[in-house]
Amino acid sequence: MKKRRLTIIGDKYTPNARLEMRTLLDESQYNTTATIKNNCDTTDLVQDLVMESQKHGHRDYLIFIFNTNNVSNNKGLTVCLNRLLPISKFTNLVMLVHQKTTEDYRNTGAIQEKKHKLQPNSFH
């Protein structure tokens, strides 16, 4: 059986994510790759994620890890979400968000609201 893809894309808060995932997963079933970019805006990471998603199918996973400090404003987050969440119709998308302020928690609420409207895949 063909190996599943697991791709991690994130900012400077995710340097060891690939190594940690490899310790948790059976390497005979997953090809794990990671793209980590320091000091970049979340919209730049989303562009990479959208491009990478074209290589993924229903059995694969994309993990997007970012810190809300790297979101320039709420409008930027909305644009990112509108580009990202439809990906979950075609592959398994996991978003891990590190929050720092009260505004960040409001943003997480917006993520949850949009996610439920799209009915993403179940994780297996």
Task: Provide the 8-state DSSP code for 39.
Answer: S
**Could you tell me the residue range of the domain that residue 100 belongs to?**
4-118
Tokens of 11: 């900012």
Global pTM exceeds 0.85: no
The CATH number covering residue 35 comes to: 3.40.50.1110
Task: Give the span between the Cα atoms of 23 and 18, in whole angstroms.
Answer: 9
Q: Between 49 and 68, where is the model more confident? A: 49
Q: How far is it, in rounded angstroms, from Cα 15 to Cα 57?
A: 25
Q: Does residue 23 form part of some domain?
A: yes
Kindly state whether residue 124 falls inside one of the protein's structural domains: no
101-116: per-residue pLDDT in tens? 555 555 555 555 555 5
Decide if 123 is inside a domain.
no
DSSP code of 20? H
Number of domains forming the structure of the chain: 1
Q: Report pLDDT for 85.
A: 81
Closest CA to 85 of 47, 120, 122: 120
Q: What is the pLDDT of residue 83?
A: 83
User: Across the beta sheet with 4-10, what order do the strands follow?
Assistant: 30-36, 4-10, 61-67, 92-98
pLDDT, tens digit, for every residue of 61-73? Answer: 998 888 766 665 5
> Does 109 reside within a domain?
yes
Would you state the pLDDT for residue 16? 79
